[in-house]
Amino acid sequence: MITGACHCGAIRYALSAPPRQSMICHCRTCRRVSGAPVVAWLTVDPHAFTITNGKPAHYASSANVARQFCNQCGTQLTYARTDDDSYIDVATATLDNPDAFPPSHHSWLSHDIAWIKFADGLPMFQKSRGDG
């Protein structure tokens, strides 16, 4: 079982299957809601994701988007579309072992902060992978 938590531990979750995808998002929405220059995400089958402790709060950062976060410590945990239940994104850095699923690419470089430089050699996309 793959497990993770918010910073204070009030919210814990488990994944019963490995993620489908692992990426780093440079979009301005992820940046502002997290207060961090980029956010790493795992794309997971929603049926494989379970909150095992606590009750996260929700925030609609855009139309048709629900982000879950801990209302005690503020850790951002998930991103989901309310009009697409085929996946949920889980913040990679909230895993108990974030080294387990390294990213394969970067997305939304069109929103990037100019001083962010990665030397990991991974593919970079101006929008989502697939959007070009």
Name the pairing type of β-strands 84-91 and 12-15.
Answer: unpaired
Report the residue from 14, 27, 48, 124 that binds Zn ion according to the rule CB under 5 A.
27
Q: Which strands form 39-44's sheet, in the order they lie side by side? A: 57-59, 65-69, 76-81, 84-91, 39-44, 21-25, 105-107
- Non-local (6+) Cβ contacts of 100 within 8 A are 2
Which backbone phi and psi does 34 adopt, to 5 degrees?
Answer: -100, -20
Tell me which of 2, 24, 30, 95 binds Zn ion, using CB under 5 A: 30
Q: Could you give the CA distance from residue 50 to residue 3 in angstroms, rounded to a whole number? A: 10
CB of 61 to Zn ion, least distance (A): 9
Cβ 25 to Zn ion shortest distance, Å: 3
**8 is a contact residue toward Zn ion (CB under 5 A):** yes
Pick the stretch among 4-12, 45-53, 90-98, 123-131 that binds Zn ion (CB under 5 A).
Answer: 4-12
Q: State the binding string over 62-101 for Zn ion (x if CB under 5 A, else -).
A: --------x-xx----------------------------
**Site for Zn ion, rule CB under 5 A:** 6, 8, 10, 25, 27, 30, 70, 72-73
